[in-house]
Amino acid sequence: MKLQIAVAVVTTILLLSCSTEKPQAPAAGNFINPNGSSELAVLMNELFAEAETAKQKIALGEKPKWKVDAKKILSAAATEPEKVASPEYKAFAASYIESVKMLKNCSPAEAPQRFKMMATACMNCHNALCPGPRKRIQKLF
């Protein structure tokens, strides 16, 4: 009985992770944090928050501060490990990481354009692999 519940919970999380904004189900399994989010989901929320702040700074002509390591999207444990192990995910991740590098190294004049390219790289991966959070990511444009 307990096992059946655990299986149901895990299945629900797997089904919800990319189709809803925030899976709230309690977690089972060591790849998921006690708050119900995977390491990758937590990282994604950090990237989103940092990008929102950066967008405001850039609009003011200021240089954004970057703390979150974008490269971690290649190693953080995901709700659906097989999805992030795919060649598609790795290709989208590489292009996103490149866009972050270009944004960090650009002049203030180039920053608005580079920021859009980065947000597009977020969106490209989500269009292909994880449509749920697209509405939130749209706010970065």
Q: Which stretch binds ligand HEC (CB under 6 A): 2-10, 57-65, 91-99, 107-115?
A: 91-99
List the one residue from 14, 45, 98, 117 that touches ligand HEC (CB under 6 A).
45
Assign residue 92 a region: left if phi > 0, alpha if psi is -120 to 50, beta otherwise? alpha
**Both tokens of residue 134?**
């697209």
Binding residues for ligand HEC, rule CB under 6 A, total 30
Residue with tokens 């692999």: 129
List the one residue from 93, 102, 106, 117 that touches ligand HEC (CB under 6 A).
93
* Shortest distance, position 5 Cβ to ligand HEC, whole Å: 21
List the one residue from 54, 58, 92, 103 that touches ligand HEC (CB under 6 A).
92
Note whether 89 binds ligand HEC by CB under 6 A: yes
118-123: long-range contacts (C-beta < 8 A, 24 or more apart)?
118/51, 119/51, 121/92, 121/95, 121/96, 122/47, 122/51, 122/96
List the one residue from 79, 103, 114, 115 that touches ligand HEC (CB under 6 A).
79
Residue with tokens 């598609």: 88
Residues in contact with ligand HEC, shown as a per-residue x/- string from 106 to 125 under the rule CB under 6 A: ---------------xx--x
**Both tokens of residue 6?**
């655990």
Q: Pick from 36, 40, 47: which is nearest to 136 by CA?
A: 47
* Shortest distance, position 62 Cβ to ligand HEC, whole Å: 19
